[in-house]
Amino acid sequence: DTAVSQTPKYLVTQMGNDKSIKCEQNLGHDTMYWYKQDSKKFLKIMFSYNNKELIINETVPNRFSPKSPDKAHLNLHINSLELGDSAVYFCASSHVSRFGAFFGQGTRLTVV
């Protein structure tokens, strides 16, 4: 069983479209994250949810909206996609009292 799974793995879309990336973890963790990895492989946290509550919201355009329907899911919705949004987006999870995180396989988003 995959611990942290994301769908889709690849996403190619046109500028201006709205798209969603889904993430699910079966580890029983209470904290989930979205990280963005740019073309230079730099990783930066975007959001963090703990027990469905948003606890970290880095400087991210408000076109990005995370949604956590329950502890095991954290979806990322992106409105009005721009070329600069092209990146690999990683979902991750951890237990708040145990450090480190397990990462999903990543979603490679390409905006054309």
What residues make contact with other proteins under the rule CB under 8 A? 31, 33, 35, 40-45, 48, 50, 55-56, 90, 92, 94, 96, 99-106
What's the rounded Cα separation, in Å, for the pair 43 and 58? 13
Least separation in angstroms between CB 37 and other proteins: 9
What is the Cα Rg of the chain in Å? 13
Q: Are strands 107-111 and 10-13 parallel, antiparallel or unpaired?
A: parallel
Choose between 44 and 63: whose C-beta lies nearer to other proteins.
44
Least distance in angstroms from the C-beta of 79 to other proteins = 24
